[in-house]
Structure 1
Amino acid sequence: MTDPVAAAGTLRDAYRRVDWATTSLGPVTSWSPALLAALDLTLHTRAPVTLFWGPDHVLVYNEAYVPMIGDKHPAALGAPAAKVFAEIWSTIDPMLESVLAGRGATWVEDLRLLMDRRGFLEETYFTFSYSAVHDSAGRIAGAIDIAAETTGQVLGARRLALLGRLNDQLADAEDVGQQLDHALPVLRSAPDDLPEVDIVLPEAQVPTAAWPAPLDRDVAVEITEQDRIARIRLTGADRDRPWPRGCTGPGSGRPSAAPRPWNASWPKPCSAVCSPRRCSPSTPRWRCGTSRPARARTSAATGTTRSPCPTAG
């Protein structure tokens, strides 16, 4: 018998480590011609492809599919789909069952899925199609999934649109107060990208532990016992300008408050810039959704922030 996983490339050893006899597919020597043909097609395809086979939809996939499932590999190989994709099963199972019931192929574009690929729920988007695979008798024996991840494109377009709206609102702002009034409603209208948004204006005083010297770079990340704090340098005003109404500080008409620690509660609209959240190693973002959300502070006045990743359900 020809080695059915000879074309698996870097997955060849992973295939051989799976005890297929304990799965619903049975030992490789017992695999049907339909499964072997579908597997051969999958392994010789450069696009991300996976098969759902057997009564519990066991996963069999190619090299290109591995980056899409992250840390689920290699345990996902030879495992039931409902176990591998437990967090999104309620969404994809009806589509898969529709195909297996003979109701035709499915097609979705930029479908939002909250996937656990690296130990936390991550906002992801995919364009994919489920299609039936038939055996020699014409019966549906499994399904094939040809997919493409579109997370980067969807998030990029959404955040560019946000920056466009922000630019429009700031175009006619004449002072710091107007910039705050115009910017904050726009930034707060995008909770998927900016779960918490405020802008901090520093007091005009000698730098302290609470307000260090102005940043010499765009972003500085500090690790505390409670969280990670991102200080983001924004442009558009200097430290000597009056504070906007509602803030405690020089020019506000109220006594200046003593310096406060980073995680203290500041009067709005002088609170945090953003709540960071970790999304993936390949795209550094900020962490949010913790019991004590991290807050980013800045040593300048106004401007835009780097987009944190979305709230994950």
Structure 2
Amino acid sequence: MRQISILGCGWLGLPLAKALLINGFSVKGSTTSEGKLSTLKSLSIDPFLIALNSKNITGAIEDFLNGSETLVIDIPPQLRGKNAETSTSNEKVFVEKIKTLIPYLEKSTIENVLFVSSTSVYGEINGKISEETVPKPDTESGKQLLEAESLLQNNLNFKSTILRFGGLIGEDRNPIKFLAGKQNLENPETPINFIHQDDSVGIILKIIASGSWNEIYNGVSPFHPERETYYTQKATELALPLPQFDHSKPSTGKLVLSDKVENVLGYSFIKTNL
């Protein structure tokens, strides 16, 4: 039986693990929450309590990796909010975590790494964005993600594919819940760059099934209505207060293309209307 390890069985990693089990894989899954171990085990996921730190890793990381050919890394940087990872120095906490992990990968059975990244690595470039666009991150998380991408891609001990997702949405997750009723929102005409949870899982499955390694893919739905149009419609559907947009300044922003996912990887999107 083929075995895959998923570092981070959270909002995306858990449904991915379930889908991999359905597709005949055995799955090792990690969590930083001891209370979640029983949940993983009940789903037939081999559970591991693992936490990456900038100086070390707690948990049985060797056992988690060994026996698996592929590792999915889905641990986004936590650099903002009440649970933000902070440092007393100028240390790049997320980058240091990946640096700490890499020696364990080099000594393990892992041959392929799929790193879940973000379109935030492109920064606020205006216009159409493809995988050929040179990233210019302008946020700390974007900068650290891009550096982590390079660390993995430049390591010759394993093959790495980078998957840059747009805004992740699902049945229980949509930005309108935070924007409802807000005033003076900027960029009403800027296109959205979202992807549904189902398609996020589907693209990862397709990469693994086709062995598409040493690649970079943008994971964004080819559904790009303007922000005002989309959020107004979503607020109406959910009976939420309508957001109000500021039209006094020209809209700026990027449109992230998913042509490579469709034409090279051969993936067909499930959710064509978000």
- TM-score normalised per structure 1: 0.23
**Higher RCO structure, 1 or 2 (CA under 8 Å, sep 6+):** 2
Structure with bigger helix share is: 2
- TM-score normalised per structure 2: 0.26
From the CA coordinates, give the structure whose radius of gyration is larger: 1
